[in-house]
Amino acid sequence: MTTASAEEEQADAQAAVERFENFYLREFRAVVGLAYLLSGRSMVAEDIAQEAFMAAHRAWERVGRYDDPGAWVRKVAANKASKVLRNRGREAQARLRLALKRGMPPGVYELPSEHAEVLAAVRALPKRQRQVIALHYYADYTVSEIATALKIAEGTVKAHLHQGRTVLQQRLGPGTEPAP
């Protein structure tokens, strides 16, 4: 390799790094925003965006030549967010199954005894209503996260939440319904 061609390769590599840095600075906020909308969690969104940009950086020689490398990174981020939600859903289902088998969700045993009636009323709900209520109020999941976790439509989640709240209010009396 001649000195001139080595210098040219080094200059090309430096230009590619600078193009990636400019691309990263220009696109990062938008990709984090997309990941946040899909995941609902800011720290998770930042992790997803970082992973998407790491993938772009590893393949920058190819990705950097695309007409819209930002679209590629957004697609990678969207795929990663979907995977995070699927995994979170599987974990929630497993935790919920274990908690329901034990008769009491982990950590709930620390609640004051006046909550025993509420827990009994929730456990008496039909399975799907019980799952939706538990994920919404205990695990603090959004409607879309519950839909993903249970592999049901968001409208179905809303219907189960409404039905479960109605039953709980009937069983426990007015003013005992969890805040939506």
Reported as a pLDDT band with limits 50, 70 and 90, residue 109 is very low
Distance CA 54, CA 77 (A): 11
Expressed as residue numbers, the domain containing 127 is 103-172
More confident residue, 69 or 34: 69
What are the CA-CA distances from residue 44 to residues 32, 148, 149 (Å)?
A: 9, 16, 17
Question: 33-56: per-residue pLDDT in tens?
Answer: 888 877 778 888 899 999 999 999
Domain-embedded: residue 65: yes
What is the reported pLDDT for 58? Answer: 95
62 and 134 in a common domain: no
Question: Burial level of 87, CB count in 10 A (0-12/13-18/19+)?
Answer: exposed
Q: What is the CATH number of the domain that holds 161?
A: 1.10.10.10
Q: What is the CATH number of the domain that holds 62?
A: 1.10.1740
Percent of the chain exceeding pLDDT 90 equals 25
Q: Which of 36, 53, 85 is the last residue of a domain?
A: 85
163 and 126 in a common domain: yes
What single-letter DSSP state applies at residue 136? I
Average pLDDT, the chain: 79
Instruction: Please give the angle made by the CA atoms of 86, 87 and 91, to the nearest 5 degrees.
Output: 120
- pTM equals 0.48
What mean pLDDT is predicted for residues 20-36?
90
What mean pLDDT is predicted for residues 80-102?
74
More confident residue, 139 or 83: 83
Reported as a pLDDT band with limits 50, 70 and 90, residue 177 is very low
When divided into structural domains, the chain yields a total of 2
- Lowest mean per-residue pLDDT among 23-32, 55-64, 142-151: 142-151
Cα 161 to the chain's mean position, in Å? Answer: 20
Reported as a pLDDT band with limits 50, 70 and 90, residue 180 is very low
